[in-house]
Amino acid sequence: MTLSSELIDSLPHVEGILNYLAPMPGKPMSRTYDPPPGVPRSTGDPEPHRMTIYDVRPVAARLSLDSEGFALAEHHTSVRDFYDEDELRRVYYPEAERLVAEVTGATRVQVFDHTIRRRVRGGIDRAMGTPRQPVTAVHNDYTVDSGPQRVRDLMGEEAEELLRHRFAFINVWRPIRGPLRDAPLAVCDATSVAFADFVPSDLVYRDRTGEIYRVRYNPTHRWFYVPEMRVDEAILIKCYDSAPDKARFAAHSAFEDPTAPVDVLPRESIELRALVFHIA
C-alpha cells in the first residue's frame, strides 16, 4: 500500500542535509583505497539539499520491501560482541538469514559479508587506519549491471542457473549501541524515485571495479529514518531486485540529526549483505 501524501505530511520529522550528486560530465568514481599523492580518491561533487526526513515508526507496519524498498523489523539477537568476527558468522549471519527469509518469503538467503562502522569525527571512509565511517552521500549499493555480476562473483558455477530466477540483494542494518542519535540512516521511499535519478558510478578496488548508483536531487523524494533506533531493531534495505514490477533500488545515506545533543555517543552500526533467491 503506497503511503498517502496526507499521511506522510502528518508524521513527526526533522530537517536534515542530504548530499546528492552535483551535475557533472562523465562517470563519477570512488576508490576504496588510499590513492597515490596527487590522485583523487573520488570524483563527483556533493550537492547538499535540506530535506524533510520523516519518522517511520508510525507507518512501519505499512511498509513493504517490494513497494517502498525498505522495512523496519524488531529483531532480537543473541550476539554478545559484534566485534567478534567468529561470533558474527556463527550467530548473527544465521539469525539475519532467517529474518530476511521470513520478511521476503525467499527460498534461499545467503549472507556474504558485513561492514561495521564506528564514527570518528573528521574520519574518511576507507582511509587506512580509520574505522569504516558512515556514508554521507546518497547512494544505492548495486546497479542493473553490477547486481547480476555480483551473483557471478559470489556463486561460481551455480550463478548462471540462479540468474534465471528472481534474485535480490538485501542489507540488514542495525545499531551496535543505542539508542542511536549520531549519523542515523535515512532511506528514500522507492516509489518516490525515478530511475533517471540514479547515476552509475564506478567503485574501484585494487583488483576489480564494481558499480553503484549515486543519486541526483529530485524534490519528489520522500525520506524516512528511525529516531533513537534501538539495538533490537533492524532496517532491511532493498539494494537490488531483478523483478521489474517490484521496488528495485532504495537510495540511502547517513545524515546529521539536528535534534541530537552535542555530546551524543558516536555511531556504531553493522550492516549485513544478503543475496536472496526466489526459486519456484
Q: Which tens digits make up the pLDDT trace of 213-263?
A: 999 999 999 999 999 999 999 999 999 999 999 999 999 999 999 999 999
> Quick check: 53 pLDDT over 60?
yes
Q: What is the pTM of this model?
A: 0.95
pLDDT tens profile 101-144: 999 999 999 999 999 999 998 888 988 888 999 999 999 999 99
Q: Supply 219's cell numbers.
A: 524534490
Of the chain, the end-to-end C-alpha distance in Å amounts to: 25
Confidence check: pLDDT of 82 > 90:
yes
d(CA 74, CA 214): 29
Q: What is the pLDDT of residue 167?
A: 98
| Cis peptide upstream of residue 94 (ω within 30 degrees of 0) | no
Q: 201 pLDDT exceeds 90?
A: yes
Q: Over the stretch 20-36, which tens digit does the pLDDT of each residue have?
A: 999 999 999 999 999 99
Q: Starting from the edge strand earliest in sequence, which strands make up the sheet with 252-254, in order?
A: 13-21, 46-55, 223-225, 185-188, 252-254, 139-140, 209-215, 198-204, 29-31
* Percent with pLDDT over 70 in the chain: 100
Every domain of the chain and the residues it spans: 7-278
Instruction: Write the pLDDT tens digit of every residue in 140-168.
Output: 999 999 999 999 999 999 999 999 999 99
Q: Other CB atoms closer than 10 Å to residue 184's CB: what's the count?
A: 25
Q: Rounded distance, CA 104 to CA 168, Å?
A: 10
Strand, helix or coil for residue 80: coil
User: Residue 1 pLDDT more than 70?
Assistant: no
Sole residue written with cell 552535483: 22
Look at the block and give the residue holding cell 548462471.
Answer: 160
Distance of CA 45 to the CA centre of its chain: 20
CATH architecture of the domain formed by 7-278: Sandwich (2.60)
On the 0-12 / 13-18 / 19+ scale of CB atoms within 10 A, 129 is exposed
CB atoms within 10 A of CB 217: 17
- pLDDT given for residue 126 in this prediction: 87
Residue 134: all three cell numbers together: 558512515
